[in-house]
Structure 1
Amino acid sequence: MVGNDNPVKSRQESGSDSAPRLSDDRLYRALASTQRRRLLCFLLEAGETTVDELATVLTGWTAAEQGAMGTKEDREQLRMALRHIHLPLLADVGLVTYDRESGTVDIEALAPAVSELIRESVDREQSSPV
């Protein structure tokens, strides 16, 4: 939905009446990005948030992982990627609701197996040696 001035549609508005399932290839494409897995994991714990807060949290997460300080430029670059790439994709798959106008993001009701897959992938990523 990039380029559309309307908020990204939820799965109910887009005509899909079921949450993403483990057998859905689109789910795995959405989870291919470390940033998307991390933001989903954050939303599973925190609930509704804003694009700005997500950018701050994810910039800090990456900086801590790298042992460096995240810059304002890093945060702004990530905020733009969230708004134009990551959140629209996740909304199209039915993992989040994203309102471009208000800048709010919330996790959709996910099947327990999907939530566990997200948490497990982030946990394993954090416990693997760099």
Structure 2
Amino acid sequence: MDNEQSASDRSRTDRSVIDNAFLILQNQERRYALYFLLEHETASLEEVADIVTGWPRASEYGITGRETRDQVLRDLRHRHVPAMAEAGIVDYDEETDTLSFAPCPPATRSFVRLACLAETVP
């Protein structure tokens, strides 16, 4: 009976991890923040906002205004970072204003890597 319960608990946990990962990855700004953290592990929220603002426009040689970047920073700080932290994917240190990849389940990192490859490799 104990083995059945632990298998059942693992199944629920696995589904939860998958659900959280896909929920987080459905938003482009969160994906770009996570792609950046894949390479850098830790970054200031300001750096992440710069990347998230500029990345989608880089292939178009577009320039964004300060207002757009400031809006992205606000969205990260008030919506996206809390959602990613609640899902256990990132850690946010308010004191240093830094964001880092949390020690999340390996499946979550795998989903982020696969999404990054699918979205960024021509």
**TM-score, with normalisation over the residues of structure 1?**
0.74
Structure whose CA Rg is larger: 2
**Runs of 5+ in structure 2 lacking a partner?**
1-12
Q: Deviations over 1:54-103 (max 9, x none)?
A: 01111110221443112211110100000000000000110011123321
Q: In the aligned structure 1, how far is the partner of 2:40 from the partner of 2:29?
A: 16
Q: Equivalent of 1:80, from 61, 65, 74?
A: 74
Query: What is residue 20 of structure 2 aligned with on the other side?
Result: 26
Where in structure 1 do 4 or more consecutive aligned residues deviate above 6 Å?
A: none
SS at match of 2:100: strand
Number of residue pairs aligned between Structure 1 and Structure 2: 108
1:36 aligns with 2:18: no
Q: In the aligned structure 2, how far is the partner of 1:22 from the partner of 1:70?
A: 40
Q: In the aligned structure 2, how far is the partner of 1:22 from the partner of 1:87?
A: 22
- 1:88-99 to 2 correspondences below 5 Å: 88-99=82-93
Query: What is residue 119 of structure 1 aligned with on the other side?
Result: 113
Offset of residue 22 of structure 1:
5.1
1:70 aligns with 2:64: yes
Task: Determine what percentage of the aligned residue pairs are the same residue.
Answer: 31
| Higher deviation after alignment, 83-92 or 27-36 | 27-36
Q: Equivalent of 2:55, from 39, 58, 61?
A: 61
Does the C-alpha gap of structure 1 residues 118 and 85 become closer, same or farther in structure 2, counting only changes over 3 Å? same
**Runs of 5+ in structure 1 lacking a partner?**
1-20
Q: In the aligned structure 2, how far is the partner of 1:74 from the partner of 1:65?
A: 17
Kept in 2: contact 1:22–1:114 (CA 8 A): no
Structure with the higher helix share, 1 or 2: 2
RMSD over aligned Cα, in angstroms?
1.7
Q: Equivalent of 2:95, from 92, 101, 104?
A: 101
